[in-house]
Structure formats: C-alpha cells, structure tokens
Structure 1
Amino acid sequence: MKRGAVLLAAALTACGGAPAPDTARQAPASTARVEQGALFSTVSLNGTLTRRARSDGSPYTAINQARGIYTRLPEVGAKVDCGDVLYRVDDNPVRLLCGTVPAYRDLNTGDRGKDVRQLNRNLRVRGNVFTVKTKAALKRLQRGKGRLDLDDAVFLPSPIRITKLSGKLGAPARPGAPVAQATSDTLEVQVELEPSQQRQVKRGDSARITLPDNTSVDGTVDRLGRVARTPEGADHATIPASIRLDEPEQARGLDEAPVRVEVTTTGVKDALSVPVTALVGRSGGGFAVEVVRDRRRRELVAVQLGLFDTASGRVEVEGALKAGDEVVVPSL
C-alpha cells in the first residue's frame, strides 16, 4: 500500500471510519489551516552509502594483458589516478588510463578510433587519431616509449580505489586474467527499487539522504539499472539505482554505511492543501472536509483530492475553500 493511502486510511480511522453526513456538526475539537503553496510526493528507501562503481553496484575489474611475473601490486584501499602506475610486471609499469573502451590492440602513429580518442583525452591531445602529438605525449608519460602496446595500460572509467586483489606478488601474470577489483573514490548511495517504485523514480529526481548521525545531505538520482535482480534473502526482483551526493565532502569518512533516502518524485508549485487527517468520507461517496465558518458555523465541503505530500502529511484539494480557512482535525 502506498504511503499516501496509509495516511488516508489513518485519517478515516481517526475520524470514526464511517461516512459523515453533509450537515453541521458540534464544536470541533481542534482545527488546522488550509494552506496554499508547493507540495511534493516522495518515495522512502533504505540505502547504503558506498563508492561509485558500475550501474548495478558491482566493482570495476582490471584485466591484465602482460606476460611475466607480478613485481609490484597496489594495496587494498590504495587510490590510483588516471596516468598513474597501477602495477608492474617484470618491473615494467602498467598504467591506469581512464576510458570506457577496454584495451584490445597496440596503438601507434596513424591509428584512429574510439580507443585512440580516449587515449588522447588522457594525454590532453584532441581528436581520435594517433598523431605526432600523441606520440610525443606518450614519450613523456612512458619515459621514452612513443606507442601504447596492449599490455602497457588498463582502461577503466575513472580514477579508482582498490577493493580486492586477484593477482599475487611474485606469481605469473597471465593475459586476460583479472588482477584487481576497484571502485571510484566518489561516494554515492545505492538503493533497490521495489516493483511499485520503479515507475515513480526517475533520473534527475531530487533526494534527501539521512546519514547515520541523523544529519541530512542533498542528492540527485543519477543512474537507474536496466536489469532486475533478486537480492539475497528477498522473494522478489528489484532494480538498482544510484544517487549522487551534491556535496560528497559532507559524508566524508563514511563507507558502507546504512542511510535513509527520501526521493522527491513529483510536485506542484501552487496548490491548496489540508492535513490528510482532515478528510472525512461523504455519505454519497467521495471526500469532504469540515470547515469552520465565522468561527462558529460549520459545514462539510466536498473536495477532490490531488497530490499526497507524504513528508508533510498534507493532500492537495479542490473545492469551495481558500487559503486561511480552518478545517476540523482530530484532537491529539
């Protein structure tokens, strides 16, 4: 059941649960104002504050292409930037270069393509052609070597933070074998969307994230997974989603921490609203609110319902109401 429906059920229960007659009542126990302004609908989620990786939450994998013996490997937790040495085979450096196209061929003067474009981007050279400028920049990076052999580099989408090592120092390095797993060093929140939430949450939605110390930070829905999966212990499939922190430094020092997320999915800029608890059922069907007129006279006013603001507990209404009217709500 949606949260708005739960609030509505609670309101009707609080008001006695039975339809109310369209006549004046006795003096109300308490009242609340009809307000005009913005309303928002939110989806509440449990999430995990972690490091950005693939859209499904899985880590990046560094695939080795060199032959020889691993003579240097990074430590778990180490950060490796674009252009830095990731590891060494036979004491020859294998560098991390940033890009989404995996290394699949040797690159030399005259070659062109997407892989050349991303190499040039790492070297701060324009274009998708391996030119003399590419060669000169590679010589500076590799201390004299003006081409990029297949086993010289590993391409991953961003600077990384090592999470797991597959290669072992002193062990043979085999082409095509994973050497390490990694994430980026950027914090994000990962959540799982239930089937009922998958049409509501979309990329670009604003989010409010409550950290373990009860402080809150703002975020934005950044990536939505395309493949449903069934988490361990669950009985139904969910879709993974990632939320980017607007100011990641506000959560610095936290990793793999549980958080609470409120995603704002829809909104109206200017609407009349009443507390959900002010709603009563009409004898002929539909809903109404009891309005206090001239501080004494009371009447039921039929209303049509719009957006439920689940965070504030209010609902958009249309009817013979105006901002500032007083409506009856149950006594606390």
Structure 2
Amino acid sequence: MSATPTAVAVTQPTAQPSALVVTGVFARPGQRVNAAQPLVEYDARPVFALPGSFPMYRDLTVGEEGKDVVQLQRALHATGRTTGPDPSGMFGAGTAAAVRHMYAAMGYAPPLATPAEAVSAGTAGSRKAEPEADVTLPSSEVVFVPSLPARVVSVPVHVGDAVKGPVITLARGDMTLTGFLDPSERGLVTAGAKADILAEATGAHATGAVASVGALVTPDTGKDNGASDNSAAAARPDGAYVPVRVEGSGSWDRRFADQDVRITLTAAATSRAVTAVPEAAITAGADARSTVTVVTTSVGQRTVPVTTGVSADGLVQVTPARGYSLRAGERVVVGT
C-alpha cells in the first residue's frame, strides 16, 4: 500500500495553493508503524496510516456517506476516538470532532473544506453568505492498511524532494523471507530445517527455520504448479526453482528490509565425525547394495560394501559393512 500525495490540504479558508515538496521524513524501511503516526511530511502536512482495506478514493468531509465513511469511523474508534451520535456511514459533527482530535494529537492543524458559497435571495444589494469551513480527511494524507502495526517497505524520498510519485510504501505484518531452491535439492529440504541467514550488504545475521516448501515454479509461467506459497515478487532466478519460506527465530532485524540475503539450510546433521566420500564414488550393484571402490596400489583396488547416510555439498556419509574398513585419506574411484 503506497501513499502518493496529489494535492495540499488547506488549514485556513484563505490559504494559497502550495507546491508538493517533502518537508519531513520520519519513517525508515523495516520500521513497524501504528495508526495516526506521521510517517512523511509534504508542505508541512502529514502522511499517516489508518486500519482498513477499502480504497481511499476521495476526500471525506461533513455530509459524506458511504462505506469509506464507515471505514473511517471504525479506524477512529480503533484509535480510541468516538464519533458521537453520528450514524454508521454518515460523516457528521461527531466524526468531524474525532478527526480534529486525531490531527491535534499528531501536532497538525486539521484540514478544511470550504463549501460553495451560498447566495441569499433578496435585493440586488444583498450580500453572499460567508462560507463555513468544515473539517475534512484528504485522500492525499492517509493510507489505509488492512492491519496495524504495518511495516515500512520503502521511503523513496528525502527532505526537499518534489513529490512525483509514492512517498512511502507499507505492508501489513512483519517482513517475510522466501528463498529460491534448486529443484534438484527439493528432496533434501523439509519444514523445520535449520536456516542461517546473512545479508552481506548490511552485515545483518539471523537464524531461523524452514516454515514451508512450495511446489516447482517454472520460468515460462512465473507461477507455481499448484502451490500457494509463492509470495516473493523480487529477485526471482531465471530458471525453475522451488520457493522456500523461512521464519526467523525472533523479530527480523530491520537491516534485512529490501535486502537480498544468503540462506544456508541444514538438511541433516550428524552428532559426531563421520566418514564421507563423493556422491560419484557410490556404486549400486545388481543386488541393490551400495559399494565404494578403494584404490590400494597403482593397479590394485578393493570393493567395500557400505551403508549411506546424510549427504551435503556433494559428499555422502558412508559406513563400511561388518568386516570391511575405510580410512580417512584413502583414495576412492569416482565415476566409473
């Protein structure tokens, strides 16, 4: 959810139009923000979030009715402000008072809407009635987020910048981490596998575990083949991959926000030192037994029946059958 100011609200009926210029930045990527908290400021006006999922498609002021007014009233109630006797969906004096109070708590004057001037009937010398300003909630100042607190995804502006697009982007909930697994290693990774996460650009480090493993995603469609766990939208590899969602052991460090990270997964581990050989050194015979061929001399070899164990980085744990031995440093035949 992004906020892109397109107009500047007035706080005095006689105020002159202003330019769209960033005058304050109070949030940073990865930060968790709450309702009615100034995040960015343009032309000395705040941009803030409120809870709700209905799009803010218009400015709201006294006399307006609709689902967006219902959402505003619920958001005001969620921040502890009542809307008085106003019926649900009707922006009346009670809702206006709550909006005024919300702006005052943020340290800003409430924005005003000036209704069209009314002309009184009478003689040619009669005067126009003075317009009466009503409080309003401008669509340029608020972004509705389905749930709060929300997470700041990006703040692509600095003080002094002209507003030409989004000034802040928010996402609900905490950061999520999705890794891209080579399909050939799909069988090695299961939910619960330990994960080590490093953002090399920022130095942020964390530990966690695999929360879920999705189905194969192919580059021709960009979609997974039947899985729903494919929420990562950036930095996808060009080839096929399996999405792996990783959860941290605690709250994510803010330095992980918008970073590409290296995820190291532990598919299996041994409790002690083991003997291992290259995967290509394992031979399966007609009797389905696994063997390793050891080079004994320049021309001699011996075959050792083995039981295989965990594998990682191209190596496989092997345990010699009873009556056979394998010693560290012995050479084995690879790829016969």
TM-score calculated relative to the size of structure 2:
0.47
TM-score calculated relative to the size of structure 1:
0.47
Structure whose CA Rg is larger: 2
Q: Which has the higher contact order (CA 8 A, sep 6+)?
A: 1
